[in-house]
Chain A
Amino acid sequence: MNILVCIKRVPDVGARLEVMSGERAIETRNLGFTISPHEECAVEEAVLLVEKHGGSGTVLTLGPGDAEEQLRDSMARGMDRAILLETDGEDWDPVQTASAIVEVIRMQEIQGFRFDLILFGNESADAGNYQVGIRVAHTLDLPCVAGIKRIEIREGKVIARRENATGWEVYQVELPAVVTVKEGLNLPRHPSLRGTMTARKKPLERFRPNRGQAALEMVRLRLPAEQGSAAEMLGEGKQAVSRIIEVMEELEVLEK
């Protein structure tokens, strides 16, 4: 079976964000970049499914030219080929993103490359719009199950489990299908050295998609008001234990 995984390149942010002047992006000069967490699991799942059922894994992203790094990373983890929808580096809104992805999937189909399963992250770590996978599925008229943490493929169907407050909801849909997944689906492997070497030679196609009209138009970014202040220091090392216990009593988590 042929699987397509759509990923997003996101900065690996540490303890605080900084908004750049112009208020349209965060400062990333000193940051590394990574695959958004849910999608990292989507890549791992695709590799596992292809190992089990055969076929191929294609990884796709819409982003700046530098997003090649995340595509190569995915191929180092076992994906076979990559597609880069190269933008000017600005964040596209979910409608624009979905329509560019739909266009390239249709183009792939015309070229004889059909996907049985298309995986997305349930939401990206940075923008958190919760909708690109759903929009792509709708336009392609494919069934879409969202928020999934367990995937099985059986007799042309995907059996997908979604966690809720009391357990699991089970969905069964016919392939081809779209599934949006969440971290916890699996424990992603680290790329091996050998994987990293072979990833350099795997095929990567680049396209420049047309950017449609923005429907959810970013005006500006800003940081929320800083919360809290410096901690009250209770001491150093074991000497702090008596103060810790006093605080626990004050907070009534420990009986006096």
Chain B
Amino acid sequence: MILTFIEHDRGAMNPVCLETLTSGRKLSASLGVSLQAVLIGSKSLGLRDALQRYGVSQIHMVEHPALEEYAPEAWAKSIAQLMGSVRPHVVLAAATEKGNEILARVGALASLPLAANCVEVNAGSAFQVQRYRWGSSLLEEAQVHGDPKLVTIAPHLIDPQEAETRAEASLASFSPTLERKDLRVCVSAREETASEGVNLKTASVVVGGGRGVGSAEGFQLLEELASLLGGAVGGSRVVTNNGWRPHSDQIGLTGNRIAPQLYIACGISGAIQHLVGCKGAKHVMVINKDREAPFFRRADYGVVGDLHEILPALIEAIRKRKTQAGASA
């Protein structure tokens, strides 16, 4: 049986879990076992229908008054106890911050390895995985020892796909045995930040700057271009490490992963650290004065030249078009 941990925040599922369920269903078919899911906290009961549509045949509902908030030690302990009673072959989660955290904790509790950020699972006689290293720039084939196998699946490898046949998922309630100590790590408060401007992660256009921008002031040009295109501004790690932009604007392995329709990268050489962050962009346009910049080999469009000349000309041309369009309308 494959047991999938469904990550949710007070009842709202992380949509990446649907991809994990899709991968889990394929794996369960190849192994000839059932696909089951574990939900923690009664607020998540509303997810039952979605899980059914994705081919989950049984849902294990972990209920305990202290589990309504995210309490990772207690959540993991509950899963470890459930594992002892339902004996899965594989425990899957999405390789999100929390998916990785929870399965790492389950691994620590059950003395099992965790294979994080996997791309492929080969459940032959030797259980092997292919997992990402360096964000997604290197693949490691690894053998996972011990049972059950704990695996998190890298996000955005496949599109979620509902099961062809639909069946009612049975619901089993599970009451974990928790001590006070298991609840010592728990979200005790939340601070919502008011979102201002366009969000880097969801923007349809992103204008990114690197070392070539030269200074914090240099980003004014990128801001102008982004605002004309209704986009957001980001930067490489050099930029955030120099304090030219806040870390929250970083695109890269240790910053944001973006997925715009168009990413315009200005003065960025194209190191792995950065490429990992913009892999999800549909189209990439690189502006760099160094025609040997490696980023040109990973881009759809390239412009050789100084961004400090090109961007003002581009901004002016776009402005002119807008006023003309305004006048003729």
B186 nearest CB neighbor, chain A only: A171
B119 nearest CB neighbor, chain A only: A224
Asked whether, in the complex, the Cβ of B272 is within 8 Å of the Cβ of A254, the reply is no
A-B pairs with beta carbons under 8 Å apart, 11 shown: A13-B137, A131-B116, A167-B190, A183-B247, A227-B298, A228-B299, A230-B297, A234-B285, A237-B310, A245-B321, A251-B283
B306 within 8 A of A: yes
Write out the residue numbers on chain B whose beta carbons fall within 8 Å of the beta carbon of A184.
240, 247-248, 250, 254-255
Asked whether, in the complex, the Cβ of B139 is within 8 Å of the Cβ of A222, the reply is yes
B60 within 8 A of A: no
0/1 interface trace, chain A 213-241, chain B, CB 8 Å (1 if under): 11111111111100111111111111011
0/1 interface trace, chain B 273-310, chain A, CB 8 Å (1 if under): 10100010011111000000011111111111110011
Closest 4 CB pairs of A and B: A15-B294, A184-B247, A215-B113, A231-B302
A134 within 8 A of B: yes
Q: How far is the CA of A169 from the CA of B189 in the complex (A)?
A: 6
Asked whether, in the complex, the Cβ of B113 is within 8 Å of the Cβ of A231, the reply is no
B302 nearest CB neighbor, chain A only: A231
B175 within 8 A of A: no
Chain A proximity of B83: nearest CB distance (Å) = 16
Cβ-neighbour of B73 out of A127, A143, A147, A167 (below 8 A): A143
Asked whether, in the complex, the Cβ of A170 is within 8 Å of the Cβ of B188, the reply is yes
Cβ-neighbour of B138 out of A26, A230, A245 (below 8 A): A26
A239 nearest CB neighbor, chain B only: B305
B184 within 8 A of A: yes
Count chain B residues whose beta carbon lies closer than 8 angstroms to a beta carbon of A. Answer: 94
Take A37-B254, A128-B132, A238-B313 as given contacts and tell me if A224 and B108 are in contact as well, using a CB distance cutoff of 8 Å.
no
**Which residues does B use to contact A, with CB under 8 Å?**
9, 70, 72-73, 97, 100-101, 104-105, 107-109, 112-117, 128, 132-146, 152, 184-193, 204-205, 229, 231, 237, 240-241, 243, 247-248, 250, 253-255, 261-262, 269-273, 275, 279, 282-286, 294-306, 309-310, 313-314, 317-318, 321, 325
Write out the residue numbers on chain B whose beta carbons fall within 8 Å of the beta carbon of A125.
134, 253-254, 273
Asked whether, in the complex, the Cβ of B303 is within 8 Å of the Cβ of A134, the reply is no
* Those of A155-210 within 8 Å (CB) of chain B: 161, 164, 166-174, 182-184, 187-188
Asked whether, in the complex, the Cβ of A216 is within 8 Å of the Cβ of B254, the reply is no
Asked whether, in the complex, the Cβ of B139 is within 8 Å of the Cβ of A221, the reply is yes
Most buried by B among A130, A143, A227: A130
Asked whether, in the complex, the Cβ of A130 is within 8 Å of the Cβ of B116, the reply is yes
Asked whether, in the complex, the Cβ of B117 is within 8 Å of the Cβ of A128, the reply is yes
Asked whether, in the complex, the Cβ of A228 is within 8 Å of the Cβ of B300, the reply is yes
Cβ-neighbour of A129 out of B116, B184, B186, B254 (below 8 A): B116
A248 within 8 A of B: yes
Cβ-neighbour of B134 out of A17, A134, A174 (below 8 A): A17
Q: How far is the CA of A234 from the CA of B301 in the complex (A)?
A: 7
Write out the residue numbers on chain A whose beta carbons fall within 8 Å of the beta carbon of B136.
224
Asked whether, in the complex, the Cβ of B302 is within 8 Å of the Cβ of A233, the reply is yes
B194 nearest CB neighbor, chain A only: A167
A146 within 8 A of B: yes
Asked whether, in the complex, the Cβ of B303 is within 8 Å of the Cβ of A183, the reply is no
* Those of A129-145 within 8 Å (CB) of chain B: 129-131, 134-135, 137-139, 143-145
0/1 interface trace, chain A 14-46, chain B, CB 8 Å (1 if under): 111101000000100000000001100000000
Q: How far is the CA of A62 from the CA of B132 in the complex (A)?
A: 21
Asked whether, in the complex, the Cβ of B104 is within 8 Å of the Cβ of A130, the reply is yes
Asked whether, in the complex, the Cβ of B108 is within 8 Å of the Cβ of A131, the reply is yes
* Besides A38-B254, A241-B313, 20 other A-B contacts (C-beta < 8 A): A13-B137, A14-B272, A19-B138, A138-B105, A146-B97, A161-B191, A167-B191, A169-B70, A169-B190, A170-B189, A183-B255, A214-B145, A221-B139, A221-B141, A231-B299, A233-B302, A236-B303, A237-B305, A251-B261, A254-B318
A40 nearest CB neighbor, chain B only: B241
Asked whether, in the complex, the Cβ of B314 is within 8 Å of the Cβ of A254, the reply is no
Take A94-B113, A253-B261 as given contacts and tell me if A187 and B190 are in contact as well, using a CB distance cutoff of 8 Å.
no
Chain A proximity of B261: nearest CB distance (Å) = 6
Chain A proximity of B112: nearest CB distance (Å) = 7
Write out the residue numbers on chain A whose beta carbons fall within 8 Å of the beta carbon of B134.
13, 17, 125-126, 128
A90 within 8 A of B: no
Chain A proximity of B143: nearest CB distance (Å) = 4
Q: How far is the CA of A93 from the CA of B9 in the complex (A)?
A: 31
Q: How far is the CA of A245 from the CA of B313 in the complex (A)?
A: 11
A107 within 8 A of B: no
Chain A proximity of B149: nearest CB distance (Å) = 10
Write out the residue numbers on chain B whose beta carbons fall within 8 Å of the beta carbon of A238.
305, 309-310, 313
Asked whether, in the complex, the Cβ of A147 is within 8 Å of the Cβ of B192, the reply is no
Cβ-neighbour of B190 out of A168, A219, A242 (below 8 A): A168
A255 within 8 A of B: yes
Cβ-neighbour of A248 out of B133, B146, B185, B262 (below 8 A): B262
A121 nearest CB neighbor, chain B only: B254
